[in-house]
């Protein structure tokens, strides 16, 4: 099938919500590279959207997929399965948490977190303790509850009335949090780095202060690590940068290197309200996805891949800062590890297009931020190539 026909059929048969898709059809990937249906090669500095952290078709991931496919793809959660148990144990041995619930996506992991926090607060603290505080420019998903948690109006338009019970306060503003948290607050949901919202990094004092506010009021601190987790920011979990621990953490994107999975992690005491029958999922944590996640997470932990992400991330940020010094188009460079944003003086869309035309896939975060989330295995010479392409593409800023 030729590319032109595929693109015509795509326009004809899909719902139009991905209307701004790039006009290429990707057919194959290997490490940091992908190829389109016309045989053109690209450096993939998006890794999906911070998903394929070990690169495309990593041999251990591919091996796990092949083995699971030939052994046992699916059983329901009416039964136990070994990969699910091993994955839960590995997550718990390497995090603050004591209990795990598996879902299929980030939004579902956040749904589970919000449902758990509300049930815990209502049953263990007070029956009217049902509300949530979230931050402006946050992103927590597209389901009714998680879109209400999301602090960006563009995701709300047309879907009102929103699920009630969510307040939004400015990010990195501890006083605003202090005013918003009260004796009706069940939980606060926050990203240590706002990914979709512009690669905004939380200040150290902010998250520490927020942890204290939650401790004082009894509100649960839900840290959304869906984008920041699994070594992306130079630590296995981004909360480690801040010397705090959440009460609930959610994961998804990179956890199975591209196979859909989500997870909600918490402590024993909080998990205990989720008694038999109160929550569940048909597909959540099947032997297939959990064995792929197990291969991914084992590879990341055994290789201490976060150290590599920290090092290469520094290299890439230094490179962007050099471009910034030589070229007024970049206003600020921010991020941690390999979750990096460059705020531009104008619209980022044309820069993303120019990069792609020159063989580099990059992401945006909002209208003015160029976002880089390459696979964590990316090498310096690939960063050099990407930086050269970006420098040229910045000439096209909107
Ligand atoms: C991507 C993302 C989500 C939503 O995950 P889905 O798998 O698309 O539902 C939620 N929170 C954050 C921080 C994300 O980056």
Per-residue pLDDT tens over the stretch 323-381: 999 988 999 999 999 999 999 999 999 999 999 999 999 999 999 999 999 999 999 99
323: CB partners within 8 A, 6+ apart: 330, 387, 390, 391, 394
**What are the Cα distances from residue 382, in Å, to 42, 165, 299, 379, 391?**
11, 46, 21, 5, 14
- The residue whose CA has the least distance to atom 15 of ligand 1 is 227
Cα torsion for 283, 285, 290, 294, to the nearest 10°? 150
How much distance in Å is there from the Cα of 95 to the middle of ligand 1?
20
Report whether residue 252 contacts ligand 1, using a CB cutoff of 6 Å. yes
14: CB partners within 8 A, 6+ apart: none
- Report the atom number in ligand 1 closest to the C-alpha of 49: 1
pTM here is: 0.98
Question: Given its phi and psi angles, is residue 172 left (phi above 0), alpha (psi -120 to 50 degrees) or beta?
Answer: left
pLDDT for the residue numbered 288: 98
Residue ranges and CATH numbers for the domains of the chain are: 3-58+304-397 (3.90.1150.10), 72-302 (3.40.640.10)
How much distance in Å is there from the Cα of 103 to the middle of ligand 1?
12
Report whether residue 337 contacts ligand 1, using a CB cutoff of 6 Å. no
pLDDT for the residue numbered 101: 98
Q: What angle, 0 to 180 degrees and rounded to 10, lies between the N-to-C axes of helices 287-302 and 59-71?
A: 150
* Distance separating alpha carbons of residues 79 and 349, to the nearest angstrom: 48
194: CB partners within 8 A, 6+ apart: 135, 137, 138, 139, 171, 200
Cα torsion for 239, 245, 251, 253, to the nearest 10°? 0
Counting ligand 1 atoms within 8 A of each CB, the residue from 194, 196, 249, 373 with the most, and so the one to mutate, is 196
pLDDT for the residue numbered 301: 98
How much distance in Å is there from the Cα of 172 to the middle of ligand 1?
20
Counting ligand 1 atoms within 8 A of each CB, the residue from 18, 49, 113, 140 with the most, and so the one to mutate, is 140
* Distance separating alpha carbons of residues 88 and 72, to the nearest angstrom: 18
* Distance separating alpha carbons of residues 225 and 252, to the nearest angstrom: 8
Enzyme catalytic residues: 139, 224, 253
pLDDT for the residue numbered 1: 87
Residue stretches of the chain with pLDDT short of 70: none
Question: Given its phi and psi angles, is residue 8 left (phi above 0), alpha (psi -120 to 50 degrees) or beta?
Answer: alpha
> Tokens in use for 24?
């290429």
How much distance in Å is there from the Cα of 227 to the middle of ligand 1?
7
Q: Let me know: does 194 contact 137? Beta carbons within 8 Å.
A: yes
- The residue whose CA has the least distance to atom 11 of ligand 1 is 140
388: CB partners within 8 A, 6+ apart: none
């Amino acid at each position: 099938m030729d590319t032109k026909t595929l693109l015509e059929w795509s326009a004809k048969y899909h719902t139009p919500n991905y209307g701004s898709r790039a006009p290429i059809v990707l057919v194959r990937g290997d490490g940091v590279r992908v190829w389109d249906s016309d045989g053109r090669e690209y450096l993939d500095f998006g890794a999906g959207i911070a998903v394929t952290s070990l690169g495309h078709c990593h041999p251990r991931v591919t091996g796990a997929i092949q083995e699971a496919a030939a052994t046992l793809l699916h059983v329901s959660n009416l039964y136990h399965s070994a990969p699910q148990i091993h994955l839960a144990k590995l997550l718990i041995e390497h995090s603050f948490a004591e209990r795990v619930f598996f879902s299929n996506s980030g939004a579902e992991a956040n749904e589970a977190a919000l449902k758990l926090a509300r049930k815990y607060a209502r049953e263990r603290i007070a029956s009217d303790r049902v509300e949530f505080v979230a931050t402006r420019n946050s992103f927590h998903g597209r389901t009714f509850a998680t879109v209400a948690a999301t602090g960006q109006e563009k995701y709300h338009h047309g879907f009102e009335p929103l699920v009630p019970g969510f307040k939004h306060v400015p990010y990195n503003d501890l006083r605003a949090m202090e005013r918003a948290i009260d004796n009706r607050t069940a939980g606060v949901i926050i990203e240590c780095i706002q990914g979709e919202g512009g690669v905004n990094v939380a200040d150290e004092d902010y998250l520490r202060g927020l942890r204290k506010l939650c401790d004082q009021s009894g509100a649960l601190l839900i840290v959304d690590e869906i984008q920041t987790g699994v070594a992306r920011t130079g630590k296995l979990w981004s909360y480690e940068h801040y010397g705090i621990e959440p009460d609930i953490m959610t994961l998804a994107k990179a956890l199975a290197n591209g196979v859909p999975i989500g997870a909600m992690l918490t402590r024993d005491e909080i998990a205990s309200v989720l008694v038999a029958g109160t929550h569940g999922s048909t597909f959540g944590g099947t032997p297939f996805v959990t064995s792929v996640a197990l291969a991914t997470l084992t590879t990341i932990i055994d290789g201490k891949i976060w150290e590599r992400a920290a090092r290469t991330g520094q290299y890439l940020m230094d490179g962007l800062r050099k471009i910034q010094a030589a070229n007024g188009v970049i206003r600020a460079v921010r991020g941690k590890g390999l979750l990096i944003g460059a705020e531009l003086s104008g619209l980022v869309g044309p820069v993303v297009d120019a990069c792609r035309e020159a063989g580099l896939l990059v992401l945006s975060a909002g209208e003015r931020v160029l976002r880089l989330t390459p696979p964590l295995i990316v090498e310096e010479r690939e960063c050099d190539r990407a930086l050269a392409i970006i420098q040229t593409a910045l000439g096209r800023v909107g």
